[in-house]
Chains A and B, each alone.
Chain A
Amino acid sequence: MKKKRAAGVFFSLMLTAGLLAGCGGNQQGGSSSGGNSGGGGGGDVIKIGANLELSGGVASYGQSIAEGLDLALEEINKEGINGKKLELVKVDNKSEAAEATNGAIKLISQDKVVAIIGSATSTNTLAQVQVANDNKVPLITPTGTNPTITNKDGKVNEFVFRTCFIDPFQGTVAAKFALNELKVKNAAVLIDSSSDYSKGLAASFKDAFTQGGGKIIAEEAYVAKDTDFRATLTRIKSKNPEFIFLPGYYEEVGLIVKQARELGLNVPIMGGDGWDSPKLVEIAGKDALNNTYITNHYSSGDPDPKIQEFVKAFKAKYNKAPDAFNALGYDTAYFLADAIKRAGSADPVKIKDALAQTKDLQLVSGTMTLNENHDPVKSAAILEYKDGQQQFKTKVNP
């Protein structure tokens, strides 16, 4: 309670400061705070920024999110929010953290957006956290699952939110699935040591797996952009694991799965949402992907009517089934639109307050309520690859 009151005092001070600053010539009524002009609320449009991986190593994520955002904005703008339309300003961070920081600065200082959506990966989102906090502009990552994005060393990043669940949850779900459904007793873990995402998932997997009575018999690492994993896989194979946990991104994962199967390593392999890209199937090949599983935010095969409605709208626009990144991009736009509506203004600080109070919001990836860390509490889906197609296996609640 004490925390809340302190926060309340802080916010009202911020608002007053904002109003005072607003009197200094900026006619967009208090939309600026602390000297930063968040004037995207002027006129008939509300500008929101999207800082995404439109090219580079994980371009497929950024592009999927952009598709989801575009579809959602099209729907939202049919009615508008309080008589205003949302306008999306996209920047490409080339899948690099330094570019992500630059992109955030550009969106805030030049385009004067009221909120930033992005980026797809944890690393690129973490690169923007400081900028968002300093400039008091909300930052919402659709798919950045690393816990430190919203909460670093027990301190909540006030202006940072997310639409997806966090890594510990994914790792725990994977460990439970391996122990209870696949009935394996030991596992090897192969980590992308250059990715906060991969390390986060692996840490929670190891905790949950050993607590559940399993044994980690091998732990190996690689770095993004590697292409030859045969040596490492040969080493893993020599220890005869029953299961491999491989939390990485699709480019390397595709190669690893392919090379593992070539070396005769045919045990089940499991990963997280980082696998979810059509490129994975192209790189690994359909056959190699059999007997692999992922935890994901949603499945287009889930019979839930809300999901099927979205799948239909998406297919009509893009002529393909939406993946989880499409869904989370779409959900993020609704998450933000809902907050802007409740805030009743395009002031970044008010939007932030409204975002933090989100409760029971019906989205495609589940019913969302934010906890005190700005992390959503919602369910995870487990999918299995069969002949290159993802099949809905089961749904796990937190």
Chain B
Amino acid sequence: MELIQQLVNGISLGSIYALIALGYTMVYGIVRLINFAHGDVFMVGSFVGFYAVTMLGVGFFPALLLAMASCAVLGMIIERIAYKPLRNAARIAVLITAIGVSLLIEYVTIYLRGAQPEAYPSTLLPDRNLKLFGVVISSQSLFILGTSLVLMILLQFIVHRTKIGKAMRAVSHDAEAARLMGINVDNTISATFAIGSALAGAAGVIFGIYYTKIEPLMGILPGLKAFVAAVLGGIGIIPGAMVGGLLLGVIESLVSGLGYSLWRDGVAFVILILILIFRPAGLFGKNVREKV
């Protein structure tokens, strides 16, 4: 029973990692950039959701949409201002810029509203506990898992069945050739940032509901974990990010469940190192070119 409970705990945690990891992996797939500001977009989404609920008094879905929309805009702004001018620069320059953007978002948020934590309103989603054979599943975690799954399916649909998705795959495959074929590469990259950031925003709202406490530096650790998840699944591969996120969540829960709670974060990064050593392309990586 304890093991099943730990799996339930892990899947709830993992679906949040997976949502953030999707954004990482999409952006990497297209522009080969590890967007370290992604975790902070997640934080901004969480705060937008919080203020939407407390100040505008809206419910869960409007708050979620609002957070996704503002994060999409934020993602595009970040791309246009910080990354686009560096598109042909050395990759290290872009990486350093990404870290700079991350710190900028964190401290602008602290400047605007202070560093004190905020508690998400608990009335947003019905909070009932289902008991199945001694395993407690809160209705909230089911909701979270459901929302995450819907968003992931939607993403798969966008990437594989729409025009913009086709353009994204083409740019990811070969940006120059795509340009020659008449694809607007800049717009495609913007769209990628918008979609990835919207997912991070959704993850922010979901995180707020599930874990209650939000604060301006909350994006750092989930951001890093999501990065590990993306690498675990194979960076640049969308199903890989999902599986990597869920797997990482479950592994963390099991590690804590065995009584090594202090090793939990350590294990996540050991996994990162092991993957990089033994299977740098990730679990889903093959010898083909990375896809979005």
Contact = CB atoms under 8 A, between A and B. Distances in A.
A253 to B, nearest CB: 11
Interface string B260-273: 01101100000000
Given A234-B9, A262-B136, A262-B138, A55 B211 contact: no
Interface in B241-261: 252-259, 261
Given A94-B115, A279-B119, A283-B212, A238 B2 contact: yes
B257 A235 contact: yes
A262 B122 CA distance: 13
A230 B257 CA distance: 9
Interface string A221-245: 1110101101110110110000000
Contacts of B115: 55-57, 59, 94-95
B261 A230 contact: no
Interface in A291-346: none
A43 interface: no
A221 B263 CA distance: 10
Contacts of A57: 115, 117, 215
Q: Which among B114, B136, B261 has the greatest number of chain A C-beta atoms within 10 A? A: B261
B156 interface: no
Contacts of B264: 231
A258 interface: yes
A234 B257 contact: yes
B26 interface: no
Nearest to A239: B2
Given A228-B9, A230-B9, A262-B129, A255 B221 contact: no
B254 A231 contact: yes
Contacts of B257: 231-232, 234-235
B2 A235 contact: yes
B279 to A, nearest CB: 26
Contacts of B12: 230
B110 interface: yes
B6 interface: yes
B213 interface: yes
Contact of B116 (A60, A230, A237, A258): A60
A230 B7 CA distance: 11
Q: Which among B131, B213, B258, B265 has the greatest number of chain A C-beta atoms within 10 A? A: B213
Given A255-B212, A279-B117, A283-B119, A193 B13 contact: no
Given A231-B10, A231-B254, A55 B116 contact: yes
A283 B213 contact: yes
Given A55-B116, A230-B253, A235 B259 contact: yes
B5 interface: yes
Say which size band chain B's interface belongs to: 35 or more
Contacts of A193: 262
A44 interface: no
Contacts of B1: 238
B122 A285 contact: yes
A254 interface: yes
Contacts of A360: none
A154 interface: no
Interface in A231-279: 231-232, 234-235, 237-238, 251, 254-255, 258, 262-264, 279
B114 A263 contact: no
B187 to A, nearest CB: 37
B13 A228 contact: yes
Contacts of A387: none
Contacts of A254: 119, 212-213
Contacts of B13: 228, 230
B47 to A, nearest CB: 15
A97 B20 CA distance: 31
A55 B216 CA distance: 11
A227 B46 CA distance: 14
A231 B213 contact: no
Contacts of B2: 234-235, 237-238
Nearest to A281: B119
Interface in B65-118: 110, 114-117
Contacts of A60: 116
B122 to A, nearest CB: 5
A93 to B, nearest CB: 12
A372 interface: no
B136 A264 contact: yes
Given A231-B261, A264-B136, A255 B117 contact: no
Nearest to A283: B119
A282 interface: yes
A220 interface: yes
Nearest to B211: A227
A264 B119 contact: no
Nearest to B115: A55
Interface string A365-390: 00000000000000000000000000
Nearest to A263: B136
Nearest to B1: A238
Given A59-B116, A228-B211, A279-B117, A223 B262 contact: yes
Interface of B: 1-2, 5-6, 9-10, 12-13, 110, 114-117, 119, 122, 129, 131, 136, 138, 207, 211-213, 215, 218, 221, 252-259, 261-262, 264-265
9 contacts: A227-B207, A231-B253, A234-B2, A254-B119, A255-B213, A263-B5, A282-B119, A283-B117, A283-B212
Closest 4 CB pairs of A and B: A231-B256, A282-B119, A230-B9, A231-B253
Given A251-B117, A263-B5, A264-B129, 12 more contacts: A227-B213, A231-B9, A231-B252, A231-B256, A231-B261, A234-B6, A235-B256, A235-B258, A255-B212, A262-B138, A282-B119, A283-B119
